[in-house]
């Protein structure tokens, strides 16, 4: 039976499944700089976004047979190199999609009603300047009837579209690859409705969206930079719950200061775990610390799916 290092943790349900199958699971975190000397004690490693499994670590640990990623993106793993060395590399792409999509709308609802600013000012000014604050936040808007552009129409993008359609929004979708524009909405666990989103070019999406949510993998050049912000509607909102670096943060700050962009919701950052200070203190940015997949339900699904993948691998 295998000895597994869950270096970024694993849900107790997944851990119990692996142990019932006869495997040993160690959830003690080994710092990145110590992994090369410690990882050969194990047959497999599971990670989330914190631990990186690069070529040098793979070369240093020939005992490892499997790398598991609890989540969607695998840009913290040198996947092709690992597979070329004969390692199995698995992930759980569907398990956290709904949680990330719901966080996107948490940021959008925050932005349209100024909650990010109100929650900062009410504790210190609410009992002395209540009426002034009330007046300051009277220009909120509704999401219904507005257009949301979804850059990247994979599993998470599709979940964002479902929520948007349920709210009565128009959806524009863009992806580098051909995709099915039909999405299925389920109501009360039974009734189902199939709807189509509008397929758009990136330029059409930028020009016509009131809100833009980015769901692309890590890229060399940001999906949204100064050129893209210039093409957007005045007063557009942008949300990034995908990867740090897909939005040019300096260009975003410039666009916010000019008023071109009215609001940003950020769950991921270029320089994690030390985001740019100007982002953290900006009154028109809603902030979360990379928690898109961090719901109880998503972690249970991730743990279960990852455990099944590992069990099946070592069974064979």
Q: What is the DSSP-derived secondary structure letter of residue 40? A: G
Q: How far is CA 164 from CA 37, 85, 105, 209, 213, in A?
A: 48, 43, 9, 13, 11
Is 290 part of the annotated catalytic residue set? yes
Instruction: Establish how many alpha carbons lie within 13 A of residue 212's alpha carbon, considering only the half-sphere containing its beta carbon.
Output: 32
The beta strands (E) that lie in the chain are given as 3-6, 24-26, 44-47, 66-69, 88-91, 147-151, 170-174, 182-187, 191-196, 198-199, 211-214, 236-240, 261-266, 285-287
The two three-digit tokens of residue 91, written as one number: 């992930």
Q: Coil, strand or helix: which one is 274? A: coil
Distance separating alpha carbons of residues 315 and 312, to the nearest angstrom: 5
Which entry of 203, 227, 257, 272 is annotated as an active-site residue? 272
Pairing of the two strands 191-196 and 182-187: antiparallel
Q: With CA atoms as reference, report the closest residue to 48 among 25, 24, 29.
A: 29
Q: With CA atoms as reference, report the closest residue to 209 among 189, 179, 229.
A: 229
Is 19 part of the annotated catalytic residue set? no
Q: What is the DSSP-derived secondary structure letter of residue 28? A: P
Is 300 part of the annotated catalytic residue set? no
Which entry of 48, 290, 301, 305 is annotated as an active-site residue? 290
Diameter over CA atoms, the chain: 68
The two three-digit tokens of residue 177, written as one number: 């690859």
Which entry of 48, 107, 215, 243 is annotated as an active-site residue? 243
Q: Coil, strand or helix: which one is 32? A: helix
Cβ 223 vs Cβ 175: under 8 Å = no
- Residues annotated as catalytic (active site), given as ranges: 243, 272, 290
């Amino acid at each position: 039976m295998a000895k597994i290092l869950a270096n970024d943790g694993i849900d107790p349900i997944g851990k119990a499944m692996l142990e019932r199958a006869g495997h040993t699971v160690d959830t003690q975190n080994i710092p990145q700089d110590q992994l090369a000397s410690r990882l050969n004690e194990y047959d497999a490693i599971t990670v989330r976004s914190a631990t990186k499994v690069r070529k040098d670590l793979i070369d240093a640990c020939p005992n490892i047979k499997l790398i598991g990623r609890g989540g969607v993106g695998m840009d913290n793993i040198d996947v092709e190199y690992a597979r070329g060395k004969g390692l199995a590399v698995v992930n759980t792409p569907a398990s956290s999609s709904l949680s990330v999509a719901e966080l996107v709308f948490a940021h959008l609802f925050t932005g349209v009603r100024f909650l990010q600013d109100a929650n900062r000012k009410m504790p210190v000014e609410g009992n002395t300047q209540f009426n002034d604050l009330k007046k300051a936040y009277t220009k909120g808007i509704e999401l219904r009837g507005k257009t949301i552009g979804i850059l990247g129409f994979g599993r998470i993008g599709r979940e964002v579209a479902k929520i948007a359609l349920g709210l009565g929004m128009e959806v524009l979708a863009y992806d580098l690859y051909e995709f099915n524009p039909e999405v299925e909405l389920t109501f009360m666990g039974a009734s189902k409705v199939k709807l189509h989103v509008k397929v758009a070019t990136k330029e059409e999406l930028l020009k016509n969206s009131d809100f833009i949510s980015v769901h692309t993998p890590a890229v060399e050049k940001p999906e949204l930079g100064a050129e893209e912000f210039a093409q957007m509607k005045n007063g557009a909102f942008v949300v990034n719950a995908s990867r740090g670096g897909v939005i040019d943060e300096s260009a975003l700050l410039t666009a916010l200061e000019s008023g071109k962009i009215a609001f940003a919701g950020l769950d991921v950052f270029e320089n994690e775990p030390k985001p740019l200070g100007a982002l953290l203190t900006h009154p028109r940015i809603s902030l979360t610390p990379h928690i898109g997949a961090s719901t109880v339900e998503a972690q249970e699904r991730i743990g279960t799916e990852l455990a099944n993948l590992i069990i099946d691998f070592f069974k064979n």
